[in-house]
Amino acid sequence: MSPGSPSGNTPSGPDLRVNFAGIELKNPIIAASGTFGYGVEFEDIVHLDRLGGLVVKGLSVEPMTGNPPPRLFETAAGMLNAIGLQNIGARAFLDEKLPALRTKKNVVVFANVFGYTRADYERTIGILNEGEGIAAYELNVSCPNTAHGGIQFGSDPQLLDEVVRTAKRAARRPLIVKLSPNVTSIALMAHVAEEAGADAISLVNTFLAMAIDAETRRPRIANVTAGLSGPAIKPIALRMVYDAAHAVKIPVIGMGGIATPVDVVEFMLAGATAVQVGTASYFDPVATETLAEELTTYCREHRIARLCELTGGMVTD
């Protein structure tokens, strides 16, 4: 991206570009998986080319219908979801969604991948390798692993190591490993992902949580437990990004409750190279684009010439 391009990075303006895994983004704002459909659904309301990039809904080998409703519930400063990884399947994504995204210039697309077994991840990546126009894969390792009695890949170091190695072998594109926050040591899991071949890590996914209707005495979510996201999780996510960034040399993509330019700056100072924005799009569908604009203004007002220089820049003395 050259200075003076439509990104808003004019010669006199702040340079918002960031780089990770050999990918250059015009700014660090990436729409998070599961909160931005397959990107195309948002094209009428968001200028996709003004975002750093977008991550599509988690893709599996076969289409999935997800969990029964209710699947969403708003909590104090957050949101519970148990969508259950509903998606159209990797093949349909290539045939029905990716061609439309490819007609757009300057849109960086990341494909989020999940499976219940290592073979699932391998097969999904194998299908996606055939498509053109995907910048990298983001491996969602937070799903139940039925082959291992409900343990999650993302909460067992040995399983994480194996699934990342499998995915890395299969992938013809850079591999971002998205870590689960439902672990005791995020530093250990970040280290395991790096050793197994991840080109970058992203965190956090949602926190296991639940809510009960005291009147009916029923769970608010049909699945009973769900994932908590939004501003409520931001301080915990920030701590985890900080811990993970200190455990690895590969780039870290931070997320969890980000909604304002100050949030972005905090995550970058904690060690993030780029950030993702999820639940904010539920409160305001244009939140991602607005945030990219506001970030430009923020940098101008705070005389930040090169945003990427903030990464890991927290001052402690």
Ligand X SMILES: Cc1cc2nc3c(=O)[nH]c(=O)nc-3n(C[C@H](O)[C@H](O)[C@H](O)COP(=O)(O)O)c2cc1C
* Complex with ligand X: residue 122 or 263, whichever CB lies closer: 263
Least CB distance from residue 303 to ligand X, whole Å?
Answer: 28
Residue nearest to ligand X (CB): 34
Residues facing 25 on adjacent strands? 18
| Cβ–Cβ < 8 Å for 112, 87 | no
Mind giving me the DSSP string for 57-112? PPB-SS-B--PPSP-EEEETTEEEE-----B--HHHIIIIIHHHHHTSTT--EEEE
Q: What does the binding site for ligand X look like in residue numbers (CB under 6 A)?
A: 32-35, 57-58, 79, 81, 83, 85, 112, 140, 178, 205-206, 229-230, 233, 255-258, 277-280
Least CB distance from residue 175 to ligand X, whole Å?
Answer: 14
* Complex with ligand X: residue 131 or 256, whichever CB lies closer: 256
For the chain, what is the largest distance between any 2 Cα atoms, rounded to a whole number of angstroms? 60
Least CB distance from residue 57 to ligand X, whole Å?
Answer: 5
299 is catalytic: no
**Residue whose tokens read 């939004």:** 230
* Complex with ligand X: residue 13 or 91, whichever CB lies closer: 91
Q: Which of 82, 83, 108, 143 is catalytic?
A: 143
Report in angstroms the alpha-carbon separations of 117 from 63, 136, 172: 16, 21, 20
Least CB distance from residue 242 to ligand X, whole Å?
Answer: 16
φ, ψ of residue 6 in degrees (nearest 5): -65, -5
Q: Which helix (H) or strand (E) holds 129?
A: helix 118-129
* Complex with ligand X: residue 83 or 250, whichever CB lies closer: 83
**Alpha-carbon span 38 to 59, nearest angstrom:** 10
**Helix 261-270 vs helix 234-247: crossing angle, to nearest 10:** 30
Least CB distance from residue 154 to ligand X, whole Å?
Answer: 10
* Complex with ligand X: residue 58 or 271, whichever CB lies closer: 58
Catalytic residue annotation: 143
